[in-house]
Amino acid sequence: MSTRKYFHIISTIAVILTFLLTSLAWGKPGKINRKKAAVKPAASEIEQNIDVDTEFQAFVADLQSTDPEKVVVAIQMLGATGNPAACSEIIALLKTGPGNDITNLALQTLGVLGNPDAINTLVEYLNHRRSDARVIAILALEGYSSPKIKHALEQKLRDSDPQVRTNAAIALVTKGDASSVPILFKAFNRGVNDAAVAIGRLGARDDALRLTEYLGKLDISVLLPGFREFLTGSHLDDDMKLQVLNVLFDFAGPEVRQFAVEMRAKIKAANPEMEYDDPILKLLSKMVNQIVQD
């Protein structure tokens, strides 16, 4: 999860930095251009477009620079433009085989741009020799949707690097579907604990029951995120949810009680009209009341 946080922080910083640098580089357009717009709106727009285009071309040119700092700034700026052409320029840069930092930043930027043209490149970089590049490619792909992403992410569960496997499992929460569940169970059996969340999100009745079979064999804290997804999702009927909760009740402990407290609050918040005599809420309340607090 730390890599995901790191990715989001970097992305946010990149966007803020881009905004600030853009403001500096483009001479605070918010003030000056607004005045110009009042006098000659049409001319100003043209001028601004010309300025933007010129700046864009300048950053594209900087991608070829031998100075890595210049290249880094150029990637960040191009990412901030949101210009579809930036995607192809960054892909072209990646094809030249830049150093580690530039490669990683370029992959992050392709993720931020959200241009589907980047999908093939990002999928290709899932097979980069550096595991950090593979992790970044996984995170970058989270913003895209394509059938090939699901398959590629499933294959990353076979990766030698634990960070890659974990991030692939997490990405499959949104990118996977019911057909991903068997391989997710396989990964879970091999210690990819975060696969439980994806199983909970994507799995069906049988998968929920299968997950309960791990109770007593694995640390319950590893399993609860999966049950949380099963219980809060709509893909499981209430009977099944009750069945899962009853099994959890059998393994009563402080963690299960805390889980029941959370679930009760969550379900109630999501369905305010739900009565407390609802069987699920009733069972959750029973769990909260009867399980001894640590």
Partner 1 sequence: MSLKKIRKYLLPALLAALTIFCFGATGEICGPLFETTADAFEAKFPENDAASLKDVTSKLDEPEGYHITNSSGLPFAIFTVAEPQSALVAYDLKNRKTAWRVEIPVNSPLTFRDNTIVLQTGFAIAVYDAGTGALLWTVPIDEGWSFYGADVSNETVVISLGIGSANDGAYANGLLVARRLSDGRELWKNLTGNGLLGKPAVMNDFVFVPWKKKQIAIIKLDTGEEVSRLRADDFTVNFTQATPAGVFYGTNATEKNVAALFLLDGYAISGKRTSPNMFMPRSVAAPNAPGFHVDTFVKPSIEIANAERIRYYWLPQKSQSTIRMSADTYYLHYWRYIFAFDARTHQTKWAYMSPEDIHSLLPMESGLYAVTTSGTIFYTDARVGHVNWQIKTGLKPTSIAFDSHGFVPSVKTGSGIKDPRADLKMLIRDKDSRMLPVRIYATKLLAAFDSAGVTADLLELHADATMPPALQKTIVEKLAERESGADALIDSLSVRYDYLEQIAAPPTNVVAPALANMSATKALPGLMQQILDYETPTPNIEPIASAILKLGDESVVQPLLAFIVKYHADTSFVGYEDGLNRICEVILKYGSEKEKKAIESVRDNAQTLPELKKQLMTVLDPDADKKAMALAIKKAQEAEIARQRAIELQKAQELANRPYFLSRDQIASTISKNAYLLRPCIKSALEKRLGLRQVRMKFAITGANGKPAGLHILPNDIPGLQECLANGLSQIEFPKFKNIRQNASHTIRITGVRRKAATTE
Q: Identify residues 244-283 at the interface with partner 1 (CB under 8 A).
A: none
Compute the distance between CA of residue 83 and CA of residue 155 in angstroms, rounded to an integer. 32
Return the biggest CA–CA distance within the chain. Answer: 76
- Work out whether 120 is an interface residue with partner 1 (CB under 8 A): no
Helix 195-202 with 205-212: angle, nearest 10 deg: 140
The position carrying tokens 């010129």 is 54
Between 67 and 96, how does the x/- string for binding to partner 1 read (CB under 8 A)? -x--------------------------xx
The correct pick among 1, 30, 39, 66 for binding partner 1 (CB under 8 A) is 66
Cβ nearer to partner 1, comparing 97 with 147: 97
- Work out whether 64 is an interface residue with partner 1 (CB under 8 A): no
Give one DSSP letter per residue of 256-292, joined into a string. HHHHHHHHHHHHHHH-TT--TTSHHHHHHHHHHHHSP
Q: How far is the CB of 179 from partner 1 (least distance, A)?
A: 16
Q: How far is the CB of 206 from partner 1 (least distance, A)?
A: 20
Between 188 and 207, how does the x/- string for binding to partner 1 read (CB under 8 A)? --x-----------------
Between 139 and 178, how does the x/- string for binding to partner 1 read (CB under 8 A)? ------------------xxxx----x-------------
Q: How many CB atoms lie within 10 A of CB 41?
A: 10
The correct pick among 4, 36, 70, 128 for binding partner 1 (CB under 8 A) is 128
The correct pick among 98, 111, 176, 200 for binding partner 1 (CB under 8 A) is 98
Cβ nearer to partner 1, comparing 127 with 271: 127
Compute the distance between CA of residue 236 and CA of residue 264 in angstroms, rounded to an integer. 17
The correct pick among 127, 179, 271, 290 for binding partner 1 (CB under 8 A) is 127
Cβ nearer to partner 1, comparing 79 with 98: 98
Q: How many CB atoms lie within 10 A of CB 196?
A: 27
The correct pick among 183, 208, 260, 287 for binding partner 1 (CB under 8 A) is 183
Candidates 81-89, 97-105, 113-121, 203-211; binding stretch for partner 1 (CB under 8 A): 97-105
Residue 79 makes CB contacts below 8 A (sequence gap 6+) with 14, 15, 18, 86, 90, 109, 112, 113
Cβ nearer to partner 1, comparing 134 with 241: 134
For residue 162, give Cα distances in angstroms to 1, 135, 180, 190, 242.
12, 10, 19, 11, 34
Write the single-letter amino acid at 179. S
Q: How far is the CB of 152 from partner 1 (least distance, A)?
A: 13
Compute the distance between CA of residue 225 and CA of residue 291 in angstroms, rounded to an integer. 19
For the chain, how big is the Rg over CA atoms in Å? 25
Instruction: Give contact residues for partner 1 (rule: CB under 8 A).
Output: 66, 68, 95-100, 103, 127-130, 134, 157-160, 165, 183, 186-187, 190
